[in-house]
């Protein structure tokens, strides 16, 4: 049981390059999330997917796109990287809170991808 996995762990891009960050979970969760973490800013939600086939914008979606490939996988794409996108990116998964799921909304996080855009 690996939990939430992310690839790659580290990446360096030049301005204007594109890349896709991969995330997979093996906990059969319906909901998945992408956050970025910057010094002094805490975690900010980029996009989330409440269930397979749906995606929604979070607090800071500009410059990013996402794909919920199936229930397990949720990818984050940077089409044209900018230095302002230098950050640590975390993927997380959870069940929506409710009596049926038994969840209270707690999320489980991957180890992160450290991205530098030059």
Partner 1 sequence: GDSVTQMEGPVTLSEEAFLTINCTYTATGYPSLFWYVQYPGEGLQLLLKATKADDKGSNKGFEATYRKETTSFHLEKGSVQVSDSAVYFCALSPGAGGADGLTFGKGTHLIIQP
List interacting residues with partner 1 (CB under 8 A). 4, 30-31, 33, 40-43, 45, 48, 50-51, 56, 58, 90, 92, 96-99, 104-112
Q: CB of 109: closest distance to partner 1 in angstroms? A: 4
Buried b (16+ CB within 10 A) or exposed e, 28-57: ebbbbbbbbeeeeeeeebbbbbeeeeebee
Q: CB of 16: closest distance to partner 1 in angstroms? A: 28
Residue closer to partner 1 by CB (options 81, 92) is: 92
């Amino acid at each position: 049981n690996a939990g939430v996995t992310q690839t790659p762990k580290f990446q360096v891009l030049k301005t204007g390059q594109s890349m896709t960050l991969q995330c997979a979970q093996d906990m059969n969760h319906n909901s998945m999330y992408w956050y970025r973490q910057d010094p002094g800013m805490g975690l900010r939600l980029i996009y989330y997917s409440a269930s397979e086939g749906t995606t929604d914008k979070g607090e800071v979606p500009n410059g990013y796109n996402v794909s919920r490939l199936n229930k397990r996988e949720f990818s984050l794409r940077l089409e044209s990287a900018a230095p302002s996108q230098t950050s640590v990116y975390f993927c997380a998964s959870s069940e929506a809170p409710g009596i049926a799921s038994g969840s209270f909304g707690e999320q489980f996080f991957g180890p992160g991808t450290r991205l530098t855009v030059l």
